[in-house]
Structure 1
Amino acid sequence: MTKRAALRVGMMAAGLAALSACTTPADVAVTPVIPQQVARPIVRTPQPAPAPETVPPVSAESAALKVYYQRLQNDLITQGLLRSDGGGSDTPFTDTMLARNFVRIALFDEYVTDGDFLRAQATESRLRRWDQPIRMSVEFGPSVTADRRSKDRASVAAYAARLSRVSGVPISMTDNNANYHVLFLSEDDRAGYETRLRELVPGIGGSSLRAIMNLPRDQLCIVIAFSEGGSASYAKAVAVIRAEHPTLLTTSCIHEELSQGLGLANDSPQARPSIFNDDEEFGLLTRHDELLLKMLYDKRFKTGMSAAEAAPIARVIAKELLGTDKAS
């Protein structure tokens, strides 16, 4: 079965210099005023045609992956998976189920560090989330065409706005001083991206770097969220989405990784309807998942809470969200 991954990693505090950018207004054609109101034609100098887009040659490995992921998407759709309906009458859930799923997804990590490597193992953690505004950037490897860049950038921006509305976390798109980086990279692009990753996350550990650089074929995408100085509050995140993916797998990765990078880092086979489940039944964020995000950023939770501390609060909030709190 295909896999996506969310990692939560601690790192030493590090600073980034803020950059600024300026823009120039578009050229505006102005009709001159001629004495005696005698109009003269406006002469425009013909502009040279834009240079053709240059994309580096695609390796045999990257080309094979593109075919593989297209077939994978087709197979999943044929099986009725990668649903985009958000759940319905066939996927009911109760407040008890919602609270249980929240604890399992928000208070457990999907991976543990084993030396310089990361190993899949659900392990109890603390409640981690962003306590500062998110400044999200989108970056593409050289292999990604201009048309694909435009579509993917728009998809990320639209989804970031949705995540902000649901969670209440301020999320803005930026090209400067970002703290949440979304990278669209092919196999070829990623092979030369180690230096850039070190620039984006100074002090990144070897296990996190390897998780990105050595992404196995069955791992569709990955997000790593970083805290500083032992804090449970996130300071940076990097999501990597394969550029070889067809449209629906790309959108599915955007939905899962960007939301997992907000603090819902684990998966649970019991979560339904949910993208936080490796069965791939749902490809896009569901109503159930939106409620998990609302819960995560409820002010009654404190960043750093244990599962035992958070569980009773989760039950109260879940009842409220589903309108089953009889005391209200």
Structure 2
Amino acid sequence: MGLSLSLLLGIAFPLFAAQTQPTLIQALNPAADWKDSAYITQAFSEIALKNEYDKDKHRVRKWHIPVRVFIEHQVGDKALHTQLVQMHLAHLAEITGHDIQLVDVLSEANLHLVFTRQSLWVDDIMRLMGPNAAKNVHGSVCMAKFALNANSEIDRAWVIIPVDQAKMHGKLVACVVEEITQVLGLPNDSEKVFPSIFNDKTPQDLLTGLDYILLKLLYSTEIKAGMTTTEVQPIIQKQLIKWQRDGTLIYADKTVRQGQLYGLLGY
């Protein structure tokens, strides 16, 4: 059995509105034209090759096996929560080309998603993610974790959403979208990346054009789990040149809005 490593992810409470100085990636393009090749390359490095809770550089992490999602309901509104998840999973599968589906039996799943309530949250985290994860509950709205095998392939993941807490902060949809997306292999949050669901200082609840491109890059067939920054950069550059020519970058903001959640939420 291969080595198993795990990574914790989460959405933080909006405790205050911080005034921040322009970051390097923002300074590269004051007009915030995220379609710039250098911007996208740095954004991929920030979101795919770094972690939320450490400062290390990491290898590419992604699923190579089909993703099978089981939803555990501990609260009401089962139909609504299932609909939100189904819509987002369908969108992710369309963007990435990866096999992602809901299953009805936990034993068939490798991504376990729990809709719970705040009073049960810590117990659920202890049950599914362990005591180390429970240490990071304070300041988080919802939480996710994935496990890697020895080849940096994601082979298991967990998402826990305390519905009452998420609704209190207006983050129910954001929790569904961001946490499930992050466990596909985009685990970091960064103020350097905008516009993006991976930037906690922005109001994005649904995938942006930049997020769409980052997902497509990660699940490009040429990019494999375990690759280093040096190995992926020429692949990214080649792909971005192609997408600049064929209009993928130009129309990314429009294309991503074809996901079902956008219509449901009135976008």
Q: When the two structures are superposed, what TM-score results if normalisation uses the length of structure 1?
A: 0.61
The residue correspondences of 1:277-288 to structure 2 (distance < 5 A) are: 277-288=199-210
Tell me how far apart the structure 2 counterparts of residues 313 and 212 of structure 1 sit (CA, whole Å): 34
Which letter does structure 1 place at the counterpart of 2:110? N
* 1:184 CA drift (Å): 1.4
**8 A Cα contact 2:126 2:133, kept in partner:** no
Long gaps (5+) in structure 2: 7-12, 18-30, 248-267
Distance in 2 separating the partners of 1:122 and 1:278: 17
Q: Is the 8 A contact 2:117 2:163 kept in 1?
A: yes
**2:98 matched to 1:103?**
no
Q: Residues of 2 paired with 1:273 and 1:183: CA distance?
A: 28
* Structure holding more helix per residue: 2
- Provide closer, same or farther for how the CA distance between residues 224 and 195 of structure 1 changes in structure 2, counting only shifts above 3 A: closer
1:305 CA displacement: 0.4
- Structure 1 distance, partners of 2:126, 2:138, is 22
Q: CA deviation at 1:296?
A: 0.2
Give the deviation of 1:211 after TM superposition.
4.7
Q: Which residue of 2 aligns with 1:154?
A: 83
> Following superposition of structure 1 onto structure 2, how do residues 246-285 of structure 1 map, counting pairs within 5 Å?
246=167, 248-285=170-207
- Equivalent residue number for residue 234 of structure 1: 154
Deviations 1:17-47 (A, max 9, x none): xxxxxxxxxxxxxxxxxxxxxxxxxxxxxxx
Q: What is the rounded CA distance, in whole Å, between the counterparts of 2:246 and 2:109 in structure 1? A: 40
Q: 1:225 to 1:157 in 2, by over 3 A?
A: same
What's 1:203 paired with? none
Counterpart of 1:252, as a letter, is A
Structure 1 equivalent of residue 5 of structure 2: 10
Cα offset for 1:316?
2.0
Shift of 1:278: 2.1
Per-residue CA deviations over 1:241-296 (Å, capped at 9, x if unaligned) read: 12212284110011111111000111222211111112133121111101100000
Structure possessing the higher radius of gyration over alpha carbons: 1
What SS is found at the alignment partner of 1:322?
helix
User: Does the 8 A contact of 1:275 with 1:283 survive in 2?
Assistant: yes
Aligned counterparts of 1:236 and 1:10: Cα–Cα separation in 2: 10
The alpha-carbon deviation at position 195 of structure 1 amounts to: 7.3
Relative CO higher for 1 or 2, CA cutoff 8 Å, sep ≥ 6?
Answer: 1
Unaligned 5+ segments in structure 1 are 1-8, 12-68, 77-89, 112-120, 198-207
Q: Is the 8 A contact 1:103 1:310 kept in 2?
A: no
Is contact 1:212-1:240 (8 Å) kept?
Answer: no
Report the CA distance between 1:212 and its aligned residue.
4.1
CA distance, structure 2, for counterparts of residue 128 and residue 99 of structure 1: 16
SS of 2:148 mapped into structure 1: strand
Which residue pairs with 1:50 in the alignment?
A: none
Q: Specify the SS of the correspondent of 1:222.
A: strand
How big is each residue's C-alpha offset from its partner over 1:217-261, in whole Å with a ceiling of 9 and x where there is no partner? Answer: 421112111123x22111100011122122841100111111110
Aligned partners of 1:122 and 1:266 also within 8 Å: no
Which of 173, 176, 181 matches 2:102? 173
Structure 2 residue aligned with 1:92, among 33, 38, 47? 33
Q: Which amino acid aligns with 1:251?
A: V
Q: Does 1:128 align with 2:61?
A: yes
Report how many aligned residue pairs link the two structures: 220
The alignment status of 1:140 with 2:69, answered yes or no, reads no
Taking the aligned partners of 1:183 and 1:278, their CA distance within structure 2 comes to 22
Aligned-partner SS, 2:141: strand
CA distance in 2, matches of 1:324, 1:269: 29
Q: Which residue of the partner structure matches residue 113 of structure 2?
A: 182
Write out aligned runs for 1:273-312 (5 A).
273-312=195-234
- What corresponds to 1:117 in structure 2? none
